[in-house]
Structure formats: structure tokens, C-alpha cells
Chain A
Amino acid sequence: MAHVLGVSGSYPMLVALWLLPLAGAILCWTFGPQLRTAAGWLVCALVGASFVLAVLSWHDGTQAVSGALGAHQPLFSWMPGFDFGLLLDPLSLLWTFVISGVGFLIVVYSVGYMEGDRAFARFFAYMSFFIFAMLTLVLSDNFVGLLVGWGLVGLASYFLIGFWFERPTAVAAARKAFVINVVGDVGMMFAVFLIVANVHSIGFGDTFAAAGTLGSGLVFAICLALFIAAAAKSAQVPLHTWLPDAMEGPTPVSALIHAATMVTAGVYLVARCAPLWNVSHDAQLLVGTIGGLTALLGAILGMAQWDIKRILAYSTMSQIGYMIMGVGVGAYEGGVAHFFTHAFFKAQLFLGSGLVIHALANEQDVRRMGGLWKKMPFAFWVMLAGVLTISGIPPFSGFFSKDEIIYGALAHGHPWLYAVGIVTAGITAYYMFRLLFIAFLGEYRGDAHIHTGGTAAMIMNVPVAILVAPTVAIGGALMFGGEASPWAHYFAPLFGAPAVPSTPVATPAISEGLTSLLVLVAVAIGLVIAWMRYATAAAQRDAVLRLAIESERMPALLTNLFYFDAAIDLIFVRPAQAAGRFFGQVLDPHVLDGAVRDIVAGTRWFGTLVRSFQTGLLRAYALILVFGAACFIAYYALTGGVH
């Protein structure tokens, strides 16, 4: 892992591609009322320019000069060891492509989707700000810069989830997302403490160079703290509960932030810190296990949803589980590959569902859809492409990246995760086709008027159509051929040879080809079950009734989402509130302030006591005086005076 820090120098393009979206955000914030609809196109132009600059930076980002890989632009320093800068290497370059490229398409889509919204400019300010924040996250060359980006994307996500802030549900979802993400930020802060205390630097380069000398316990602690951050941001169990609620935001937001980019930050983090994870086998096991668990759990919950966006949200959670499992077990290229393909197909799925939601006047319940393939053929075909890809059917992109992860789990010695991966693939196929069949086949069951056409729909269709190509083909184009693929070639200098597990494993009993076959069998089973339940003529006949019965009979465990929310509420939220009420209403006013009031009362009582001697009778004073004098005299008479 010698190739970490880039070639230091001045890279104006890098700085420009980073700051352009910030400029967009500031302009939209400041001149929102004046810009009106131009705000959208302004942000499109700036993000597009950012993407062009990213493409032009390809050479800088992949250059390898005497052991240094990529481009490094120093910015400023707080104090020795606290140096900030930008780092563009193959990993951050890939993320930059997705953030600015997919981001550009989604921003264009939003111009149509958000048409007529009363806070149009504000929306684009947030979107632009998000892209800046996400670029900060992936371009930082140090942990504090990463943490800044980490916090800012959380903020952008908060703003956009709560964008329609007149809805109490959106406000609550935004707050929940933010607070859970702060838990992640705090985890990363702790990792920063550990790193600074032991490495005396916040830089990636210094940290990774020292990784081998830190001791496995310490590295495990750092990885654990970092993974809390990754789990919160990437919706891993048990910090996942905010993601489905985050669907309260506008659909383009779900596509960009809660599918393509921000939620994959955890994958980026683990891949970026590969030198740390390589040292700690325990950390690999932990992250791989949590990833596999999340993949399975997300898929199971995805089967029980009726809201089109929540189905996609759980599928996102599940797919990120795959990625985390991949990077966790050490199959970094596979995990990152799945991020890359997922960014396209999930963006496409969300944008496709956005077409439906937009046409159906914000109807999101699949039970009140049906038969849409006749009325919205374009939406149907893009959704079909997305569903085929996410299910992992060859030769679509998802097949390549997902197989790489599943096989990677076995190759790195985790047969259980391998099995989980295959089962989850089957469940994925089931719930995604279920979505497609219920929403698009049969007869239309809703009562909303389907409104297609118009300029808004035209603007939205273009980016979706453009996305189809990478969704379908990019996996095959880049990842076909295993070790010889362009993908492996691109990442070879970064990740180097696959990480060596602490216990060497023999060549897996199951070959990669057989793995693909197993996955395909699982997918076929899922597909067939979905077909039998929702697509046959019998199932279509009284679909309304059948769906109603199905939702009626849904197990409580699933409708309550495995009680995660209830548990968090019971364990953390309620005790904190109860303590707050006790402290604020009992301890503070009655005990602590009570002590103060007791002092006041004591002083007053003493005053009353002393006052009773002040009779105002001159002769009484004289008597007291005489009495005092007598005491003195008696004292001296008895003791014999002072000598």
C-alpha cells in the first residue's frame, strides 16, 4: 500500500471542480427570488462544468510518479500535523465522476420534477450544496476534512429530507436522519482522537504509513470508531432506521443522496481506509458481518413494503449492505464496483419511480397503481431495465459487481456471508419484480388522474434515458474479464494485491463460475415466486382484494420493521426525555435552587432573631450594656485579669 498520497502540486482544475457547486449554492441562496427558474439551470451548468473538469482531471487523478498515485493539492494548515488538502486518486476520482456526473443528470431531472414548487431556488441551493459537501468528503486528504464533508452531507441530507417542511412527517424524518448521522460523526471524531493521539497527524498518508506499527488492538478501535460513522451514513444495522423515513424528501433527492452518493460514503470510507482494515482481521469480520446482516435485513423488509419509494429505500439499504460486506471482507474492488453500478441503476429506479409519482400526483402506494405499462411505457421500460440490473441478471451491470462481492466473501474465507449473499440475491429479485408487477401489470387501481406529457416530463425523460445506457452496460463494459478487466486494471495500483487474511485459505471449493450459477438459480426462484404471486392471470383477477388481504396478513414483525424504532425510542429517547423533565422540573428548581432558597430563608430567619433585640427602648439598651460590662468585670475578677 505504498500508493496513498498523490503527487503534491497545484491543481487549479481540482480546486475549481470542488468549489463550483458551492458557488452555485451561494448564488441560489443569495439571489433565489431574483433567479426563479434560472436557479435550476444555473446549478445544472455549474455541476456539469464540475463533471467536465473531473473528466479533464483523469490524467492528474491516475498519474503515478515515484510511488505517489494521483494528485494532491495542499490548502492550508491549522497547526503542525493539522494540514488540509485535496486528494484526487483513482478512488476519489471514481466517486467524483458519480457525484458530478449522476448528480448532473439528477439536477437536470429536478428542473422538471420541481417545476412550480414554491421554494424552487432553495431546492437547487441545497442540491448544489450537497454536491459540494460530497466532493469535500471524497476529495479530502485527511480525516478532519473527511469529517467536515461527512457532517456537511448530513446537513444537506437533512435540508432535503425536510425540504417540504410544512409536513410534520418530513420534519421528524429530517431530524431523525440528522441525529443518527451525528452519532456517526461522533464515531468518526473518536477515530480522529485515536489517530491524532497515536500518529500526531490527521493526514491519510501519515496514518496509513503508520498502520502497520500501531498494534492490532488500536487499529481495531480506530476501525470500529470509523465504522460507526460508516454505519450511520450508509444505513447499516442498527443505525439504518433513518433511511426509509428519508423518503419524505423529493424523489430526485432520494435518487442522488439516499441512493447514488451519500449513503455510499461508508463504502468509500472503508475502501479509503483499506490499509487500516487490512491490518485488523477482527475489523474485517465485524464490517463484513454487519454488511451481510444489513443486506439480508433490508431485503426482508423490502418484501413487506407498499410505498414504492420505501421499497427502493430498503433495497438501497440491502445493496449497500452488499457493498459494505464486499469492502469489509477485503474485496475492495468488488465493493467499489457495486457502488459504481448501483449509483446508475438505483438512480434510474428512483428517477423512474419519480416519473410515476409525478404523473400520479404524488401517489406512492403501489396498491393504487397497476397497469401503468400501457399508460406510461417509457417509465415501464426504464424501471424494467433497473429491476433486471438490480436483480443481477446477466448481462446487465449488477450481475458483474454483485457476483464479485459474493465470490469475494468466499475467497476471503467467509462462507456464511457467501450464503447470505446468495439468499439475499434471490430475495432481491423477488421484491423488485414484485414492485414491477404490482405497479405496472394488470389494471389501473388508483383514482388519481394520470398526467403525462408537458415540458416538465420532457425535461425529466432525457436524463432518465441517458442513464439507461450505463445502467445496463457499464458493468459488462468495465468489469468483464476478472483480473484482466479495465476495472481491475484501474484499481490495481490503488488496492494492489488482494489483502492477505491472517489465516490463509485454500482455493475455495466453489469456483467463480459456479457461484454465478448459484446466484442465478436464487434469482430465478425469486423471480418465479414473484411471477406466480403477482403476474399470473389468476393473480391479476381480483388484485385489489388480494393485495388488501396480503397487507392485512403481513406479520407484525415486518410491519413494525423488526422493532428497531421502538427499541431506540425505549432505550435512548424516552430515558433522556424523562431525565430532562426530572432535572428541569424537580432537581433544578427544588433541590439545587432549593438550597439557594434555604440560604436565603436562613439569613432572613437569623435577621428576625437578631431584630427582636432591637426594642427601641433606650433603657433596655442601657441594661444590656451594663450586663455586658458586668460580664467583663466578672470575667477579669474570676480569672485574675490579663498578665
Chain B
Amino acid sequence: MTSGYLLRRLGMLFLLIFVAVTINFMIPRLMPGDPVESALNQLVATGGGSVGDVQEIAEAYRERLGLNQPIWRQYLNYWGNIFTLELGTSLQFFPAEVSRIIWSALPWTLGLVGVTTILSFGFGIIMGALMAWPGSPRFLKSIVPGFLVVAAIPYFMIGLVLIFLFVLTYRIFPSGGGFTFGGNLGYNWETVWSILRHATLPALSIMLASIGTWALSMRGLLISTLGEDYITLAEARGLRPRRIFLWYGVRNSMLPQLTALAILLGHAISGAVLVEVIFSYPGLGFKLFEAIHGKDYFVVQGIVLFLAVSIAVAMFLMDLLYPLIDPRIRYQSR
């Protein structure tokens, strides 16, 4: 790996983090009014007693944010807080740390997005390959338009339809949440079963929406790969068609698909956030939704920053991996 490539990618990563943090710092300060004040007022108006001593909390925030200091000083403080992972405290659930809230919600989102991405990637590639395979049955080719239509619709709207079908009409799956309410979470089969049952519909809605995209691009790539000269050569050498298809065609078409993974990652996370909301799935997306509703400003800010930075880091890691996986990608490109 050339050091120039590494440096450029690293520079991009730092730039991304810098932009994300700066946007996060700027936007609340560009808006008229004091977010702390308005958020707290709203809380008092709606919630009342559970908030605690409003004046005290507001004072604490004013102090911590240093809102009376010059703007560059506030900006530096903000960076300092981020390096020490201090993202503030929740207004809604007062002494709870924002970083702790993110930490507790993260496994749910990571599990959901991770598993669905791998599954839909795998299924999509198999389906795309079958669609391009001359010997596969005709009905497979005719489901392409169906998947295209589903892929055009936002993830969470598919979730709504799934709830209607499998929760209301057939009553197979629970309507939402991450596990059976009131049940105690432990390392036993009951817990695993409960978590799986609750995750099925959210996962299904993400997968239904994304398999089509993977399958179609795989089909396109495979068709153009099958037109390459080395396929003709392999045929001329008398290799078995199945071997040509799998080892010469599919294997070479899969690599560009991996590149697309990075581009779709941000899309997948945005989609998953909304799916979590629809299913009240206890991940980051649902926490974000709760925070928006409770005017819990620092939680919103913290989750947004976390999402942006983690996508930037994931992109960086994938950029480092590609040249190792696919030697055809040149370090100098881009």
C-alpha cells in the first residue's frame, strides 16, 4: 500500500470528521433563540415535575457550554469535550449521559444493520447471478420489475405494510420493540428467541428494499463480465459451463459490488433509522426519534454526530480494504 494513498484517505477522514463536528457546533448557534432555554420551557410546559429543578439544570448547561464566552473559545471547548467523549447529558432523563444512551442503543442498530446488510448482499448476489444465468427458470427473470418497484419505495413504508400484514392480519409477529416487555433479559434461549422474533419484521423491511438494488447491479455486472474475452477463451478451452459461470463470471463480478457497499452504507443507515422508528426498535434511530420528541437537544446532537463520524470511519476502513481485496483498484485513482 502506497503511503500517498494512505495519507490522502486519512486526510479525507479528518476532513469529514472536522466538517461533521463543525456543522454540529454551528447549526444550533446559527438558529435564533437559546436552544437550552426553549427546550427546558417546552419540557416544563409538557412534563412538569419529572424534570427536576429547571433553573439549576439551565444554569449547569449555560456553565458547561460556556455560552457567555467568545465563539472561538466555545468551539475549542466543544472539540475538547468530543475528545473526552463528553457529549453532554440528557434533558429528558436528566442525569443520564448522552454517550451512555448512545452506547446502550448501539448494539441493536449495529446488529440490525449489520445482519441485514450481509444477508441482502448475499441474497442479492445469488439472485442477480441466477437472473443472468442462461439456464435459470423464466419466472426468476420476471420478478425483476417487482423488485425494482419495491426498491424505489422508502424502507419504512415497506415496514408499515409488513406490520399491517404480519401483525394485524396474520398476528405472527410482535408489533414492535426489541424484546418481550417485562421479560428478563439473560443469556438463555428464551431471550434469543424473543429478540429474533422482534427483529424479523424490521430486518425483512430493510432486506426487501435493498435486495433488488444488489440483484440488479449484480446482474448488470455479470452480463458485462460474461462478454469479456477471457470467458470466450475459457469456453474455447472446453471448461464446463458451470465452472466458467461461477469461477470466471460470478467471482469477478462480485468485487465491484463490494465497492458499492461503501456508497450504500450511508443510505442503509438512514433507512434503518426510520425503520427502527416504525417498529419502536430500541436502536439509535428510535432513540433519535424519542429525543426529537422530548426536545432533548443534546441527545439529538450526540446521535447525529455519532452517525456522521462512524460512517466516515467505516468509509475509511473500506477504502483501505478494497485494494487488498481487489488488486485491480489502483491506489492512485480518485
State whether these chains interact.
no
Residues of B within 8 A of A (CB): none
Residues of A within 8 A of B (CB): none
